[in-house]
Structure 1
Amino acid sequence: MLALRPVQLTDLPQLQQLARDSLVGVTSLPDDTERLRDRILSSCASFETDVQGPGAQNYFFVLQDLVSGRLLGCSEIVAATGCDEPFYSLRNRPFSSESRELNIQHGVPALSLCQDLNGQTLLRGFHIDAAHVHTAQAQLLSRARLMFIGAHPQRFADSVITEIVGYSSEEGHSPFWDAIGQHFFDLSYTEAERLCGLQSRTFLADLMPQYPIYVPMLPPQAQACIGRIHPDGQEAFDILEREGFETNNYVDIFDGGPTMHARVANIRSIIHSRSAIVRPSQQVDATGRYLVSNDGLGNYRAIIADLDLDAEGFVRLSPDMLAALDVADGDRVRVVSL
């Protein structure tokens, strides 16, 4: 059985291996021991802190095979962007010009560096082992974060965003970066992403152009990358799209990948989940497959299980399920259909 739980410091060696295998462009999962250690310790402190409003907390989760102990994936929530440093994006909106003498109005799409998305909850760091791509476990890794937000709403903003990795070639070549960023940094796309993962976006944004970049002046290959998803990022996009997330007018400053957003009040795994009272059972006559979580904080757990959820609000769980969720008879769990 696989279960999602908060990260622990003892996970560091396996987490670094996940970082080595992660997609180029996932800057929130750097292949650097000290950086990952800091991320883990920060997450542990966030789970232990009494919070009444969203701030700089980060909640890091891992997906673990409970039999072998192997980590098969990870994902993260940042409670509010822009607390420790500005959260930079490129706003993609028309720049209007007008000539009264000629009676002409014209709108040209333009990219502008901005901090519009500061203060929103951010999903990041999604990575799953290749053998579990396009399986129910990928949904567990992504959606269980949303159920955690639903269980602890005071810790998060009313809206949630995520950046989907944009297009780059198998060789790590990004036409979008080559057309814009490389002119200001003289760095390859992969090197710029690596430095961002080890440091922050601030040093890059300091050197980015402060004036609008007119999209028609970019090479066609770069224009085609605006809002384009890397093939390996499609599953992350699809899962959240089914949850009610939509793309908006913001793209990533590195590769032009799309930004998705949703109001918490509209997220499927939150609004359609229901609370149920646990009843132990040696045998479960399943009628459906569900995503199940406890409402814990530091002991938060989530699994996928075939269950019988009755109309009276009780759910029967096997001993293995009880252990995986760290719950007992009479406890409450949160349940949503897969």
Structure 2
Amino acid sequence: MTFIIRPARLGDLQHLYEMAKLTGGGFTNLPPDRASLTAKLERSEAAFARDGDALEDELFVLVLENLKTHEVRGTCQLFTRVGQTNPFYSYRIGTLTQHSRELDRTFRAEMLALTTDLEGSCEVGGLFLHPGERAGGLGLLLARSRYLFIKTHRARFADRILAELRGIIDEAGGSPFWDGLAGRFFGMNFQDADQFNASHGHQFIADLMPKHPIYTAMLSETARSTIGLPHPSGRAAMRMLENEGFAYANYVDIFDGGPTMTALTDKVKSIAAAKESRILTCDQDGGQESLIATGRLTDFRCAYGLVREVGDAIVLSRDCAQALRVGEDDHVLHVGRL
């Protein structure tokens, strides 16, 4: 057992900063800016330090650590209730149907409306795996660990959950969607807007964007063709979300037009299927490959392991038990592969 998921600490800043420089832009939750990352880590540490069940506007940052080298090789984030401090904006794709008797024709126009419909949801985001580790299911470990964290701290997360996927970014680091829509109103390119949003939030969108719906037919073909599509590097993440029960409900990101996926929190498969069991013993005799988590808040740890169910208890693989620092009669949360 080489890798575990654990809470991020301020000491992880340099690792996170180095990974942020590898994202290629459009990754708002992991900006290559030390001050912004420090603020995120401080906010996360405050959330981990609060021992209570009240639903508040909080951020939890988790990291993937190599136990042999102690390097941080991936990260993910959880927002407990978005849109409480700053509005949470999305574009909702809708259709306006009109009929002309004189022409005997019906016209259907696709429109983008700026909304805060998803305000109050919890969010899973900020998932990034170092390019050197994109094998062996570590991306799945990062993604699904968030659901076990939610299950462990269920009262601190909203009843609806969302995930924003990065949209199409061209080779120059620009966004065709931004250039075709918002860029015309803001006088700044996508990279500048993305950096400003990462550091200051996107209230400026509400301040400067037109409030009336926008007909997509007025956008360039290049911009229209990217609406609701994930970045190629995010297609696997989209499939993982769909496998968990998330669905695309015609909401897209206001910056790059990437799809926003939603689900009911308790209907997410990893949350619904996870169960708590007592460890009967630990050995290396095989079992079902599972995701196992233990501990609350700063003590939370998650890793892959082998599980054999024996009545109401389980037998856990010894290497996983050592990584999680658990043993006989301890209780863990576990869920098998979906």
Deviates more, 1:78-87 or 1:232-241: 232-241
Structure 1 residue 176 and structure 2 residue 182: aligned? no
* Residues in 2 aligned to 1:64 and 1:142: alpha-carbon distance in whole angstroms: 14
1:94 corresponds in structure 2 to 95
Query: Is 1:287 aligned to residue 287 of structure 2?
Result: yes
Offset, 1:158:
0.8
Native 8 Å contact 2:162 2:261 kept in 1 = yes
**CA shift for structure 1 position 333:** 0.7
User: Is the Cα–Cα contact under 8 Å of residues 24 and 173 in structure 2 kept in the other structure?
Assistant: no
Structure 2 matches for 1:144-293, cutoff 5 A?
Answer: 144-281=145-282, 283-293=283-293
Distance 1:244 1:4, change over 3 A: same
Alpha carbons 1:285, 1:308 under 8 Å: kept: no
Q: Structure 1, residues 228-253: CA drift from partner, whole Å, max 9, x if none?
A: 11111112212111111111111001
Separation (CA, whole Å) in 1 of partners of 2:68 and 2:32: 26
- TM-score, scaled relative to structure 2: 0.94
Q: 1:53 touches 1:156 (CA, 8 Å); kept in 2? A: no
* Residue matched to 1:126: 127
Asked whether the equivalents of residues 167 and 230 of structure 1 are also in contact (C-alpha less than 8 Å), the reply is yes
Structure 2 residue aligned with 1:28? 29
- Which residue in 1 is equivalent to 2:310? 310
Distance 2:9 2:87 in 1: 28
Q: Deviations over 1:106-154 (max 9, x none)?
A: 4311001111110000111110011222531111101110111112110
The 2-side partners of 1:303 and 1:276 are apart by 16
For 1:86 and 1:311, how far apart are their aligned partners in 2? Answer: 48
Q: Deviations over 1:145-168 (max 9, x none)?
A: 011111211000111001100011
Report the alpha carbon displacement of residue 54 of structure 1 after superposing the two structures with TM: 2.5
SS of the equivalent of 2:86 reads coil
Cα distance in 2 for residues equivalent to 1:46 and 1:96 = 47
Q: Tell me, in whole angstroms, the C-alpha distance in 1 between the residues paired with 2:193 and 2:138.
A: 31
Deviation of 1:100 after TM superposition, in Å, equals: 7.0
Aligned residue number for residue 335 of structure 2:
336
Q: Does the Cα contact within 8 Å between 1:280 and 1:322 map onto a contact in 2?
A: no
- Please list the CA deviations of residues 261-290 of structure 1 after superposition, one character each: whole Å capped at 9, or x if unmatched: 111221111111222212343x32112211
SS of 1:17's partner is helix
User: Could you tell me the TM-score, scaled by structure 1's length?
Assistant: 0.94
SS at match of 1:309: strand
Unaligned runs of 5+ in 1: none
8 A contact 2:307–2:314 mirrored in 1: no
> RMSD of the alignment, in Å?
1.7
User: What corresponds to 2:324 in structure 1?
Assistant: 325
Closer/same/farther in 2, CA of residues 107 and 295 from structure 1, 3 Å limit: farther
Q: Distance in 1 between matches of 2:235 and 2:76?
A: 16
- Does residue 297 (structure 1) correspond to residue 300 (structure 2)? The answer is no
